[in-house]
Amino acid sequence: MRLTAQAIIFAASLLCAVSAHALPSASGDDLDKLLADKGLLGQIDQVRQSVSHKASELVVNAMGFLGVPYKRGGNTAETGFDCSGFVRAMYEQSIGLILPRRAEQQAAATQNIDKNDLQPGDLVFFNTMKRAFSHVGIYVGDGKFIHSPRPGAEVRVESMTMAYWKGRFDGARRVASRANDGTTTSTPAQTQSQPAQALQQAPAVLQSQKLTQEQLFLR
């Protein structure tokens, strides 16, 4: 089920309003309590119910990290995130899938889709460093995406229709398990090594390129 534009944009705005620096270390219960105290929990529940469970969990979890600062090479809320580190962390925490570390590797390991077919939880890529697929974010609906943009900035939601992003759009991708949501299950990340887990989850394009485990998980 596709996420309604009104619901997801409201989710983005209300979570921004709840905290200028979100609560990445808080549990789901803590976040729900904060939203309930402000009378907003009912609206977030609508978001959770309007999309598939995995996509809803991914998007709502990502919104909980709004305001975390950018950190080159960063993988956690404590250190900060770079763009691909943020995407990788959200997929691992929310769905249990481990993606490759770098943006261009994430593009190679995922399924190409048309921009018009974007659904919440899909990946969007941009050319921001004069090379293809040098930036990545998570699509949240209504032409908007959440990402960790650059040094000095924080995790935030922006519109893909902005001139800067529109002119640098490189393509959209869907993670294999997202393409088969509800029919494909994944082994929790902690039960296997990261290279073994990702190579099992990645689509055939990853295997066809014969990328080594060292290349895929370069940090």
In degrees rounded to 5, what are phi and psi of residue 114? -75, 145
Q: Are 68 and 81 in contact (CB under 8 A)?
A: yes
Residue 84: closest CA among 25, 28, 126, 24: 126
So what's the pLDDT on residue 165?
98
Q: What share of the chain in percent tops pLDDT 70?
A: 57
Higher-confidence position of 189 and 100: 100
pLDDT value, residue 181: 55
113, exposed or middle or buried, with CB in 10 Å at 0-12, 13-18, 19+?
A: middle
Report the 3 state secondary structure along 35-104.
HHHCCCHHHHHHHHHCCCHHHHHHHHHHHCCCCCEECCCCEECCCEECHHHHHHHHHHHHCCCCCCCCHH
Q: Cβ contacts of residue 187 below 8 Å, gap of 6+?
A: 96, 197, 200
pLDDT > 60? residue 199: no
Give the whole-angstrom CA distance, residue 219 versus residue 217: 6
Domains of the chain: 66-216 (3.90.1720.10)
In the block, tokens 């935030």 appear at 156
Backbone angles phi, psi at 169, to 5 degrees: -65, 130
Higher model confidence: residue 194 or residue 15? 15
Q: What is the mean pLDDT of residues 186-190?
A: 38
Q: Quick one: pLDDT band at residue 136, thresholds 50, 70, 90?
A: very high
pTM flag (> 0.95):
no
Is-contact 172 124, C-beta < 8 A? yes
Q: Residue 40: its pLDDT value, please?
A: 37
Categorise residue 130: left if φ over 0, alpha if ψ from -120 to 50, beta otherwise.
Answer: left
Show which residues are catalytic.
83, 135, 147
Cα–Cα separations (whole angstroms), residue 210 to 97, 98, 104, 192:
20, 18, 15, 20
Instruction: Give the dihedral sign, CA 42/44/50/56.
Output: negative
Would you say 202 and 211 are in contact if contact means Cβ atoms under 8 Å apart?
no
Quote the pLDDT of residue 30: 63
Residue range 89-123, pLDDT digits in tens: 999 999 999 999 999 999 999 999 999 999 999 99
Averaged pLDDT of the chain: 73
Q: What residues pair up with 80 in beta bridges, in sequence order?
A: 76
Query: Does the pLDDT of residue 128 top 90, yes or no?
Result: yes
Residue 162 pLDDT: 98
Which range of 5-9, 60-64, 71-75, 94-98 scores highest in mean pLDDT? It is 71-75
